[in-house]
Amino acid sequence: MLAKRIIPCLDVSRGRVVKGVKFVNLRDTGDPIEMALVYDRAGADELMVLDIAASDGDRGSFVNKIQKITNKISIPLAVGGGIKKLKDAEQLFSVGTDKFVLGSGAYHNPGLIEKIADKYGPERLVVSIDARHKAPELWEVYTQGGQRSTGLNVIKWASEVESRGAGEILLTSMDRDGTKNGYDLTLTSSVREAVNIPVIASGGAGGLNHFLEALTIGRADAVLAASTFHYGEYTIEEIKGYLKNHGVVVRGESINPGG
């Protein structure tokens, strides 16, 4: 059995980490560089940083922050937001990014998935899918930070991005995001059933049992969370201990809680 991963996520807007509920009412939660270092020391398996504003005018500042983060942490770093062409991925790779996260850019330019996968390998490419529940067993893909409906079926899109070369899917339930009511297990398991690449469950973490359910009932390969970590409700060490006690194989035994 492959070890499951615990991934904190930093949503960055105008140089600061923010968090909201269902993609709205964003609150400032801290400096991305300082928070990245904390999660590196806390035993996170990976870190994801998403530029949710992704404005061209602020791109240079965001890339500079990514370089500062990669200089300070040792865990793999996945970066997304504003990747619209191969050159954007090349720029992030040049400052130490380990994985690229494509969201709206993948939807508007599906060929970009193939270009990045061909150049850097599928293992470096995560496609982010923001899903909103529409009917029983039916979820729709949203883009532009959850602002734009596409009319596209999530299951169909997940299968397509896999066929185009994505190595992993970040699957976010917009309905559960920030609610702390638990991951959408039906959504997660449905996508996991449809593809052969790893699926990262996102949206809704609030209790230790939620992480366990996403990895067992939802069959996710990794769990991503933000507010649960940002607000100190649970540490990564506590979550890994809980999962291990319930028979889930997790990465890493060595955790340095020091600062």
pLDDT at 22: 67
In a domain, 256, yes or no: no
In a domain, 253, yes or no: no
In a domain, 251, yes or no: no
pLDDT at 28: 72
Q: Which of 51, 88, 130, 184 is catalytic?
A: 130
Domain count, the chain: 1
Question: Is 130 among the residues known to form the active site?
Answer: yes
pLDDT at 13: 86
In a domain, 259, yes or no: no
pLDDT at 160: 98
The CATH number that applies at residue 120 is 3.20.20.70
The DSSP-derived string for 243-258 is HHHTT--BS-S-----
Question: Is 177 among the residues known to form the active site?
Answer: no
- Domain that residue 182 falls in: 5-245
Tokens 């100190």, residue located? 232
In a domain, 33, yes or no: yes
In a domain, 250, yes or no: no
Instruction: For residues 1 and 163, give the distance between their C-alpha atoms in angstroms, rounded to a whole number.
Output: 24
pLDDT at 90: 96
pLDDT at 23: 60
- The per-residue pLDDT string of the chain (259 residues; one tens digit each, 9 = 90 and over) reads 689 999 999 999 888 888 777 665 577 778 999 999 999 999 999 999 999 887 555 788 899 999 999 999 999 999 999 899 999 999 999 999 999 999 999 999 999 999 999 999 999 999 999 999 999 989 999 998 778 999 999 999 999 999 999 999 999 999 998 889 999 999 999 999 999 999 999 999 999 999 999 999 999 999 999 988 988 899 999 999 999 999 999 987 444 444 3
| One-letter identity of residue 124 | R
What b/e readout covers 222-257, taking b as 16+ CB neighbours within 10 angstroms?
bbbbbbbbbeeebebeebbebbeeeebebeeeeeee
In a domain, 257, yes or no: no
In a domain, 151, yes or no: yes
- For the whole prediction, is pTM greater than 0.85? yes
SS3 122: helix
pLDDT at 55: 55
